[in-house]
Structure 1
Amino acid sequence: MGVTKRIQLTASLPQAHRQVLALHSTVEAAAADAGLDPRLVELVKIRASQLNGCAFCVDAHTRDARELGESERRIYLLNAWRETKLYTEQERAALALTEAMTMLPRDQDVPDDVYDQVTAVFTEQQYVALAWAATVINTWNRLGVTSRKPLPGEAA
């Protein structure tokens, strides 16, 4: 895996790429307007990217999280977030929602207990921004994985 050179989908259809970038910007602004901690949003992006196996996005968002002050320890343990007390109630709810939304093709549901957990600790505006953030990163992941987007510094 990873040997066959792939067509880079974002470069091959720049109009669509610009529209996904615009959607990304809209969702980032909505998250900020809702008062979501940018580090929480980065954790959502990292976790979805881990589940989807998108090396490009994991790399990008772990660097972004570190620039925002996120600890390396919490980033390293993100794939085992349920097994540690390092994450807040809000972070746990956001990660549960992210996982449920990311695993929709397999599970075909966001369980009521996850929805209830998220809406108990976030406002409606925050919930909407989180759900859209998970949607957008899943879109980027699918483009990156399908294209086998190389990491910065890697040969294309």
Structure 2
Amino acid sequence: MKRIDIYRTSPELYDAMMALSSASAKDVDVELGELIKIRASQINHCAFCLDMHTRDARKHGVSEQKLDVLAAWEEAAQLFTERERAALALTEAITELGDGHVPDEVYQRAARVFSERELGQLIALAVTINAWNRINVAARVQPPGRR
């Protein structure tokens, strides 16, 4: 079944999401931001965002090894910094909300290694990529064809 071209039919949605994306990424390390976006997109099965953000991550210097094991980052913890591990744990908790909340220990782990400003931005970034993922998955937005 063909889905709507949501960004064509609702351009104000696209504009609002772009504004939110820009605001949430402000002052976030670009490589860390890409890891957050990719991890949430893996969980949400958003092919469009995975395609976009893995390419962006490579452009910004994220190693192929990190990208290769990101879905199992806890098993390859030595490849990721403490800040990356805390951000990824927080991203997963925000994305999955299995118990209806972000566990205190996950939040505290992130709060120990990020300033309040950084923590707020990371939360906003994780929420924003989740919104993009859900819109794209619902509308079945596809990645561009083979390059």
TM-score range, shorter chain: over 0.9
Unaligned runs of 5+ in 2: none
Match of 1:89 in 2: 82
CA shift for structure 1 position 38: 0.7
TM-score normalised over the length of structure 2: 0.94
**Aligned residue for 2:19?**
22
TM-score normalized by the length of structure 1? 0.89
Name structure 1 gaps, 5 residues minimum. none
Name the counterpart of 1:73. Answer: 65
Tell me how many residue pairs correspond in the alignment.
Answer: 145
- SS at 2:74's partner residue? helix
1:8: how far off? 2.3
* Aligned sequence identity (%): 49
Counterpart amino acid of residue 43 in structure 2: L
Deviation at 1:152, TM superposition (A): 1.1
Residue 137 (structure 2) pairs with residue 145 (structure 1): yes
Q: Give the RMSD, CA atoms, in angstroms.
A: 1.1
1:103 to 96, 99, 108: 96
- Measure the CA separation in 2 of the matches of 1:67 and 1:107: 36
Amino acid at match of 1:72: E
Deviates further, 56-65 or 6-15: 6-15
CA distance in 1, matches of 2:143, 2:50: 10
Report the counterpart of residue 47 of structure 1 in structure 2.
Answer: 39
Distance 1:67 1:55 in 2: 18
Q: Measure the CA separation in 2 of the matches of 1:58 and 1:74.
A: 14
